[in-house]
Amino acid sequence: MPRPRPQPDHSATPRVSPLRNLPVEFVGSFPDPAVLLDPALPELAFVGRSNVGKSSLINALLARRRLARVSGTPGKTTLINVYRLPSFYLVDLPGYGWARASKKARASYRSLVRGYLQNRTTLHGVVWLLDIRHPPSVDDREMQDLLAEAGHAVLAVITKADKLGLGARGERVRALTEALELNDDQVQLVSSTTGLGIADLGTSLLAAVDG
């Protein structure tokens, strides 16, 4: 039987991220969730399990290849990394759920991320990343509770779409949306590798800091 020919992935046709032409500057890496940023501007925080693709997504949104450090080794980032755009900050929080982390490292992670998400008055929205291939983990559930408690606007971003075929993608997005009790308009599918969804996400982020 002839095998079906691979179809071009039209859904991945890149449009341009509106963040790509904005000047951006790395502000620094901070251990203190109460760090004062000068000037005080709205912040958008990126959270998700280690290796989910946070740093890759920040690079894709800003169209900078190596601004945020992408690591093959999970659990390396234990600090809050801050990037300044003209009218807001992007904040790359350390990833959770690194299996080999020590008890002490986990506790310090928790207090850093909790402290940041619970007390930050300049935080305008949270971008919560989930890998398309995995059901929500125990740590994802803990983050879900923390986000609900903190009451921030949350945009769930499902990452690494390119790892699955088109049919499987739709199914996984539906399953994750349902499992995490999200609204459809809170969910954005992306691939930092192909550019899928990056322009739409950039548009949503700009709206979140402007609104």
Ligand X SMILES: Nc1nc2c(ncn2[C@@H]2O[C@H](COP(=O)(O)OP(=O)(O)OP(=O)(O)O)[C@@H](O)[C@H]2O)c(=O)[nH]1
How many residues contact ligand X, by CB under 6 A?
23
CA–CA–CA angle 186, 209, 50 (5° rounding): 55
Which strand ranges, in their side-by-side order, compose the sheet holding 80-85?
25-30, 80-85, 88-92, 43-48, 123-131, 154-159, 187-189
Amino acid at 108: S
Amino acid at 87: S
Nearer residue to ligand X within complex by CB, 87 or 141: 141
Contact 52, 46 (CB under 8 A): no
Between CA 115 and CA 110 the distance in angstroms is 8
Question: Residue 26: CB partners within 8 Å, gap ≥ 6?
Answer: 67, 81, 82, 83, 84
Site membership for Mg ion, residue 51 (CB under 5 A) = no
The residue number with the shortest CB distance to ligand X is: 95
Distance of closest approach, residue 59 Cβ to ligand X, in angstroms: 8
Q: Which residue's structure tokens are 């080794």?
A: 73
Name the β-bridge partners of 80.
30
Nearer residue to ligand X within complex by CB, 55 or 188: 55
Nearer residue to Mg ion within complex by CB, 17 or 77: 77
Interacting residues with ligand X between 84 and 103 (CB under 6 A) = 95
Q: Which stretch binds ligand X (CB under 6 A): 7-15, 158-166, 169-177, 197-205?
A: 158-166
Q: Which of 44, 45, 53, 116 binds ligand X (CB under 6 A)?
A: 53
Q: Which of 47, 54, 97, 123 binds ligand X (CB under 6 A)?
A: 54
Nearer residue to ligand X within complex by CB, 18 or 74: 74
Distance of closest approach, residue 198 Cβ to Mg ion, in angstroms: 17
Q: Is the Cα torsion angle 33, 35, 36, 38 positive or negative in sign?
A: negative
Site membership for ligand X, residue 72 (CB under 6 A) = yes
Between CA 141 and CA 179 the distance in angstroms is 10
**Binding positions for Mg ion, rule: CB under 5 A:** 54-55, 77
**Binding positions for ligand X, rule: CB under 6 A:** 48, 50-56, 70-72, 74-77, 95, 159-160, 162-163, 191-193
